[in-house]
Structure formats: C-alpha cells, structure tokens
Amino acid sequence: MRVLITGGAKELGRAFSEVLGAQGHRLVITGRDEKALDAAEAELKARGVDVSAHVADLGDPDATPKLIESLGGIDVLVNNGALGGPVGPTWQVDENEWWHTFEVNLRGTAFAANAAIRTMTSGRIINVVSNAGVHRWPYVTAYSVSKAAVIKLTENLAIELKHRPIAALSYDPGMVDVGLMRRGATMESDDPDQQRISEWARSQRDAGRFTPLEQSVDLLARIVSGEFDHRSGGLITPQDG
Ligand SMILES: NC(=O)c1ccc[n+]([C@@H]2O[C@H](COP(=O)([O-])OP(=O)(O)OC[C@H]3O[C@@H](n4cnc5c(N)ncnc54)[C@H](OP(=O)(O)O)[C@@H]3O)[C@@H](O)[C@H]2O)c1
C-alpha cells in the first residue's frame, strides 16, 4: 500500500516508517526538517524501502494537501506530525504559540485528511492522538485540547465516510520512550512548569507506564493493514494490542 506519514523522518514517526517500510509498503514521508528527511530517505532506501521524502509544513494549510493531490491518491494517511505546544498555565503562555499548536495539530491534520479523502478510492486515515486528548494535561493545554479535537473530528469523519470504503481511526500510541515523552522525561530546566511536566513524565516512566516502542509500532502497522477498520471512528490504544 502507499502510505503517507507526516513527521515520518523522526522519533516515533521514523519508527513507524521503518516498520511499514520493512513490511513492503511504499512510503511518502513529510516534515519541516529537510536534512532529517533526506537522511531518513537515504537510510530507508539503503534497506530497500520504496520511499520519497518531502518538505511539507503542517502549519501551512496548503502544503500537505498539495503534496497529497500531486501523488494522485494514497491508500493510507498516518497523521503523525504534531507539536507539543507551550508549557505553563494557559493564561500565561504565549498565545500565538498556543494557537499555532492548533494550526499544526488540528488544522494540519484535518486538511491532510480532507485531501486524502478527496483523492483516495479506498483505504484509511489514521490520526495519531494521545491520552492527553482523552483525559487532560494541565499546563500543556494546546496539545491536550488539539488532540481532543482530533479525536472528535475522527468520530465525525467516520460517519460521513460510512458509505465509502474509507476508515477513519484515532490511534493513541501510548507513552513511549522516544520523541515528546523522552524529551519530557530527560529535560533539565529551571522553569517550574517545565519541571512539573518533567517530573510527571519520569514518574510515569519509572512506574512502568510507558509502552514499549516495538509494541506501539506493531499496533500501528496492524491498523495500517486494515485490521481495525470495523472500528472506524474509534480510538485504538495500546490495550487493543
Ligand atoms: N512520544 C510519545 O510518547 C507520544 C505519546 C502519545 C502520542 N504521541 C503522538 O505521536 C506523534 C509523534 O510524537 P513524537 O513523540 O515523535 O513527537 P516529536 O518528537 O516532537 O516529533 C514530531 C514529529 O512531527 C513533525 N512535525 C512537527 N511539526 C510539524 C509541522 N509543522 N509540519 C510537519 N511536520 C511537523 C516533526 O518533524 P519536523 O521537525 O521535520 O517538522 C517530527 O517528525 C505525535 O502526534 C504525538 O502527539 C507521542
């Protein structure tokens, strides 16, 4: 299948790319960081993966949709790219940074999904979300609220798509020891709000609440394969693995 993974060159997205590439899917990966994209493309190609890497900023409402349209149809969209957003009491953080997190995490995800749905005949949209969008994550509200909105968007899309062979699923990969959570757990900061988040992340990791990366990536691969299409609109979590 032809799978587009936003943020597919780094961290969790990179792990997704490696496993999906090894399974023989044809990959298109995006992000903002051209160097990282070029490196990921070269490394994946060296392992025999059919992959092309493209700079596409999810903060630009046209970039990812234009890319998807230029591809003339994909089978699966993995909306993985996202920002962690500002940390601190909501009324004190930079409001432009707070709002930009929605532009990337919500609008970027929604517009990529729209373009994929307009051009695909069948397949699935997989929106990577977080437990922070189900419960809460005080002091990280742009991230938490934007992920909650993506979960609700996915539920609505699934109903709108019910007469087409396209599934829409939310996927919470669990807390994994890469990317956002690893940075959270290892961060050194003098800022008390950052410290609070960092201590919480360490406490979760030390209590064994992290999901092993391999498990998280394997479950994503099963969703990509169509195994969970019957749950279109729903949220798949590590417990489903
Ligand atoms: N790590 C965890 O434990 C965890 C837990 C729950 C959910 N998640 C979710 O999993 C996904 C990946 O998380 P992560 O931990 O790997 O995060 P990360 O380390 O911050 O990586 C974010 C990825 O998104 C891309 N990205 C960020 N802003 C972008 C933009 N404006 N346009 C295009 N790409 C952009 C980045 O690539 P560039 O820098 O090249 O743009 C990078 O590939 C996210 O959706 C996150 O919410 C992660």
100: left (phi over 0), alpha (psi -120 to 50) or beta: alpha
Q: Which of 5, 6, 10, 55 should be mutated for ligand 1, with most atoms under 8 A from CB?
A: 10
Neighbouring C-beta atoms of residue 72, cutoff 10 Å: 8
In the chain, what are the domain boundaries? Answer: 2-176+212-240
Average pLDDT per 10 consecutive residues for the chain, totaling 241 residues:
98 98 98 98 98 98 98 96 97 98 99 98 98 97 98 98 98 98 93 94 96 98 98 98 91
Measured in Å, residue 211 CA sits from the centre of ligand 1 at 17
What is the reported pLDDT for 126?
Answer: 99
11-22 vs 213-225: helix axis angle to the nearest 10? 60
What is the reported pLDDT for 112?
Answer: 98
What is the reported pLDDT for 155?
Answer: 98
Contact 6, 112 (CB under 8 A): yes
Closest CA to 222 of 76, 85, 119, 122: 76
Distance between CA atoms of residues 233 and 241, nearest Å: 18
Tell me how far the alpha carbon of residue 157 is from its chain's centroid. Answer: 17
What is the reported pLDDT for 6?
Answer: 99
Which CATH architecture does the domain made up of 2-176+212-240 adopt?
A: 3-Layer(aba) Sandwich (3.40)
Q: Point out the ligand 1 atom lying closest to the alpha carbon of residue 36.
A: 40
Measured in Å, residue 178 CA sits from the centre of ligand 1 at 10
What is the reported pLDDT for 197?
Answer: 94
Neighbouring C-beta atoms of residue 178, cutoff 10 Å: 18
51-55, strands of its sheet edge to edge: 51-55, 26-31, 2-6, 76-79, 123-128, 166-171, 235-236
Task: Encode 26-87 in three state secondary structure.
Answer: EEEEEECCHHHHHHHHHHHHHCCCCEEEEECCCCCCCHHHHHHHHHCCCCEEEECCCCCCCC
179-186 vs 192-206: helix axis angle to the nearest 10? 110
Q: Which of 5, 6, 11, 198 should be mutated for ligand 1, with most atoms under 8 A from CB?
A: 11
Distance between CA atoms of residues 164 and 176, nearest Å: 34
Q: Nearest C-alpha to atom 11 of ligand 1 is from which residue?
A: 80
What is the reported pLDDT for 186?
Answer: 93
Closest CA to 146 of 92, 93, 107: 107
Q: Nearest C-alpha to atom 4 of ligand 1 is from which residue?
A: 175
Residues with CB under 6 A from ligand 1: 6-7, 9-13, 31-33, 36, 57-59, 80-84, 104, 128, 130, 173, 175-176, 178-181
What is the reported pLDDT for 198?
Answer: 95
